Chains A and B, each alone.
Chain A
Amino acid sequence: MEYDYFHKYLGLSHEDIISMLKFLEINNIEELFSDIPNILKLNKDLDLPDEMDEKELKRLITSILAENITIPPNKIFLGGGVYPVHVPAIVKSILGRSEFLTSYTPYQPEISQGVLQALYEYQSLISILTGLEVVNASMYDWGSSAAEALLMSIRYTRKKKIVILGPVSPNRLEVIKTYIWPHNIRLVQLDWDKDTGLTPIEDMYNQVDEDTAAIYIEVPSYIGSVETNIEEIVKIAHNKGALVIMGVDPLFLSLIKPPGDFGVDIVVGEGQVLGNPLNYGGPLLGIFAVRGDMKLIRQMPGRVIGMANTLDGKRCYTMIMQTREQHIRRENATSNICTNEALTAIASAIYISLLGADGLYSLSKSLIERSHILAEFLCKRGFQAPPYTSPYFREFIVPLEINPAIIIKRGLEAGYIVGKDITSIVKSKYGYSLHISINEFHREKELKELVELLAGGDKY
């Protein structure tokens, strides 16, 4: 065995290895693997490529990724929970600090106050946005947050039925179904009205009953429609002893009253939009906020950071209520989650702190404004945008006369991603349909070009 192999990421030199073997009174490193039966040993090289240096590696990745077709964010009209976001330089710069990047879960609070305080601030900022007092330090994404919220409602109420209102993102719905599948839960999805884009509240009366653990509603919904009568929904659910779980776009919360004020019990949502890059859909940031009721909180999943005091009476931060978690409670834990999305939560804390109330408000206002401008443009060209009457925030659907695939292709040729074909979901109501989302990069120019692409005007 030769020990002259050297890789820059390994901490030992040839001499180190020799002297350490000597200290261990063994002849070679293989002896440390002598307890692994020979039959289990690989005894050959793994079929992996050769080592590359940084230059080669950069060249390689650049050349592979050159096969992507890069589309700038102002020409992308996709959304549905995750959106192109301008990540402020300061967010990137602070996240690059290896003190945040290369640390782990703050098991030793005394040496990890930085991560703890930043996560506490994330929790507190989300708590103000949602109006709910307890927020965990992150879930994987909106999908798993929603799924875990529903499982939590089952534990809390000891009932087994869930009612879903209005149009919900198909991907999230799939995650929900995957998570609840083993638990014999009855999932009732109420249809929505094509003219309002919402589930009629009357329909809730029939379906929300004594067996219902929770209702789940997304505001805005997947097609952009906004339910404005949260108060009544909460009343109906609470009358039957069911919890109300609301899925949100956190930016929208800067325009509407906090769900907590309406009596909503749990808010889940996607925090990517709060200062995190899209990265083809991950990492994301599952928001999870709960009403400040001890009985409810004891059932919540995930890490929670709390304020604390030191022995000498100074304010500090630490992980709290860990007796809910898997490392202590094992199979009786409220969830299996361990590693979460802490760094994206910290990014969001920095982002919200930078924007402040004013910045959040003007960003959200500009999104709602621009989406209405786009709708107006489209209506002028004869589209029904959107084909329902409820308010909408930053996205809506547009019924089309031709297959959206044709328009998407046409758009791509012009360097645009015009939206998402959601015909399969809404066919019975609106026929061919395109889902269109506004982001902060869109200017009037792109809105107009989008309209032309949809209308198939002269230029196209």
Chain B
Amino acid sequence: MTGFHQARWAEPLIFDLSGSTAPYPHENIEELTKYLPKDIIRESLEIPNISEPRVAKHFIRLSQMNYSVDLGMYPLGSCTMKYNPKIADEIINNCNLEYIHPDQPIETVQGLLKVLYDLAKYLCEITGMEHCSLQPAAGAQGELTGVLIMKKYHITNNMDYKDEVIIPDSAHGTNPASAKMAGYKVVEVPSNEDGKVDISALRDAVSERTAGLMLTNPNTLGIFEDRVLEMAEIIHEVDGLMYYDGANLNAITGVARPGDMKFDIVHVNLHKTFGTPHGGGGPGAGPICVNDKLREYLPVPIITKKDGKYVLDYELKHTIGRVHSFYGNISVLLRAYIYIRRMGRKGIAWMSKIAVLNSNYLLKKISRFKGVDLPFNKDVPRKHEFVISLQRLKKDTGVTALDVAKRLLDFGVHAPTIYFPLIVNEAFMIEPTESVTKDELDYYAECLLNVLNESYSTPEIVKSAPHNLAIKRVREAEASRPSSMAPSYLWFKKRSMAKL
């Protein structure tokens, strides 16, 4: 198959690199007593002083032990690991954003506000909504913002008895967690045998207490909830609100819009659909779009235009308040703007078409493999992602989805999302995105086939994988055990000293 081998540096922690650790502070403490009382002045700071070239080598070596979108296929389902355009890097690094302070007078940032204003407009157009706040720093913060809006809306309209949010069992964990943070009780509705929300169960779950429904469409199985209008009717009937989790927007941009599906609140993950880099876990951005009746509830400030000038508007009558210390993750927002302009109207529509084509192509190849099952309705096309089950493989060979994921890494590709959604056993959730080539898709299928074959012939190779990476398999459980864990160097040192 491949001669892939990840770099393997035995790179110590920064604390173990040789550098001077001169006494601290070097100068006389008296110098500081002019400004601070002596008893609070720091006497030691155990951070080594290392030369710049050694610091450079340290982090470059670490970078070589990290897989990324630019290295190969990274089909983490639900995460939309698409190409992050280099032109955005270049513009961001050269557009004098570095020293713009958020408290600067508004007249000094008119250009920047124009970009943000237009981005908000584009997001409204793409989602079919009317107003937008760019403040939330990630999808989950967008969700929290959205459910807080829900709450404030009901309280303002004398419906403070609404204390339940309905969430399908296939939903991402952030949905119930966000609802809970907004003080709601979470009511879970099951999926039916087609992998969609069970409408009669939804009807049963709905009551006067229902504040709203949180849904992603297509859902986390990659299946489009075609009865969404009916759901909206059921929810709106009791004055509930429809919340759209935009994590899966990459499936339908330019094809269908949450607003037309009668959603009232939508968050968009710019780090997914709009090509901003994931940065090893962030930063992202999770703008939220709402329809007209919810405008007054958005976080303040929002960017508006007044007499040809862009202004920050704090005068929203029912605002839930701020969710960010300032205006959101500006450089991420700017990147998304660049992405949308670079793609253009046609590109934005085509990206979803190609993402869905890639997903179905790979699914068809993979679902024929021994050990693999496609749960739920086999006849509906999946959207930008799909979920298979390796339950049969596990039964046949004892090899788990985790094992297969680890072995895939050996071939220079990233594993899919595993064990999510929770309603599929040994779940393998694959989202290729539109950025990959047909060759990459074919290679991925080939790698998976190879691993499945190994699982039947030489399962120990799979169970002990990975073999070609910087390290061998991690003993996960032990790392979280209070007796053996070490969440920081300080903790580690204290524990080692106690043992001595």
Contact = CB atoms under 8 A, between A and B. Distances in A.
A90 interface: yes
Given A104-B76, A110-B471, A308-B475, A35 B63 contact: no
Question: 3 shortest A-B CB distances, which residue pairs?
Answer: A51-B344, A281-B326, A114-B66
A322 B25 CA distance: 38
Interface stretch (B92-100, B391-399, B446-454): B92-100
B46 interface: yes
A33 B381 CA distance: 7
B315 interface: no
Determine which residue in A17, A110, A303, A332 has the highest number of CB atoms from chain B within 10 A of its CB, and name it: A110
B45 A64 contact: no
B437 A9 contact: no
Contacts of B52: 90, 354
Contact of B63 (A64, A99, A339): A99
B40 A142 contact: no
B69 A103 contact: yes
A414 interface: no
A164 interface: no
Given A103-B66, A140-B324, A111 B103 contact: no
A117 B180 contact: no
Contact of A7 (B20, B76, B343, B474): B343
14 contacts: A29-B357, A33-B356, A42-B254, A50-B346, A52-B344, A94-B56, A98-B70, A103-B69, A112-B67, A144-B324, A338-B139, A340-B282, A349-B14, A353-B59
B176 A134 contact: no
B277 to A, nearest CB: 5
Interface string B476-491: 1011101001111111
Nearest to B17: A353
Nearest to A25: B364
B350 interface: yes
A130 B365 CA distance: 53
B264 to A, nearest CB: 16
Nearest to B326: A281
Contact of B66 (A5, A13, A115): A115
B458 to A, nearest CB: 17
B40 A257 contact: yes
Interface in B77-106: 79, 81, 83-85, 87, 89-91, 93, 95-105
Interface string A116-134: 0111110111011101011
A129 B489 CA distance: 12
Interface in A36-65: 36-37, 39-42, 45-54, 57-58, 60-62, 64-65
A331 B177 contact: yes
Contacts of B281: 104-106, 115, 119, 137-138, 303, 339-340, 342-343
B475 A309 contact: yes
B490 A128 contact: yes
Contacts of B277: 98, 101-102, 343
Contacts of A357: 21-22, 24, 45-49
Contacts of B59: 94, 97, 118, 350, 353
Contact of B440 (A11, A102, A316, A339): A11
A118 B65 CA distance: 11
Q: Indicate the size class of the contact surface on chain A.
A: 35 or more
Contact of A318 (B35, B415, B476): B476
B186 to A, nearest CB: 4
Contact of A121 (B13, B69, B323, B478): B13
Nearest to A58: B91
Interface stretch (B140-148, B201-209, B236-244, B287-295): B140-148
B24 A361 contact: yes
A170 B189 CA distance: 40
A14 to B, nearest CB: 11
Contacts of B21: 357
A280 B174 contact: no
B499 interface: no
A333 B177 contact: yes
A431 interface: no
A381 interface: no
A178 B479 CA distance: 35
A80 to B, nearest CB: 7
A316 to B, nearest CB: 5
Given A104-B79, A108-B67, 11 more contacts: A20-B358, A24-B361, A49-B341, A67-B110, A68-B96, A99-B70, A100-B63, A117-B65, A281-B326, A330-B186, A356-B47
B449 to A, nearest CB: 16
B164 to A, nearest CB: 12
Determine which residue in A21, A52, A330, A369 has the highest number of CB atoms from chain B within 10 A of its CB, and name it: A330
Interface in A1-28: 5, 7, 9-13, 16-17, 19-21, 23-24
Contacts of A189: none
Contacts of A12: 354, 357-358, 434, 437-438
A110 B177 contact: no
B297 to A, nearest CB: 12
Contacts of A327: 172-174, 420
Given A9-B85, A311-B472, A333-B177, A128 B47 contact: yes
B435 A10 contact: yes
B41 interface: yes
Contact of A372 (B34, B71, B257, B365): B34
B3 interface: no
A356 B19 contact: yes
A360 B49 CA distance: 10
Given A104-B278, A175-B322, A255-B32, A181 B148 contact: yes
Nearest to B254: A46
A284 B331 CA distance: 10
A102 B69 contact: yes
Contacts of A310: 471-475
Given A31-B381, A175-B324, A341 B87 contact: no
Nearest to A294: B482
Given A68-B96, A118-B59, A353 B70 contact: no
A239 interface: no
Nearest to A5: B350
A17 to B, nearest CB: 7
A72 interface: yes
Given A42-B257, A61-B91, A310-B473, A340 B138 contact: yes
Contacts of A456: none
B451 to A, nearest CB: 14
B74 A104 contact: yes
Contact of B99 (A84, A304, A328): A84
Given A99-B68, A281-B326, A339-B284, A353 B55 contact: yes
A332 B322 CA distance: 24
A278 B100 contact: yes
Interface string B426-437: 000000001111
B471 A391 contact: no
Determine which residue in B21, B323, B364 has the highest number of CB atoms from chain A within 10 A of its CB, and name it: B323
Determine which residue in B19, B48, B487 has the highest number of CB atoms from chain A within 10 A of its CB, and name it: B487
B460 interface: no
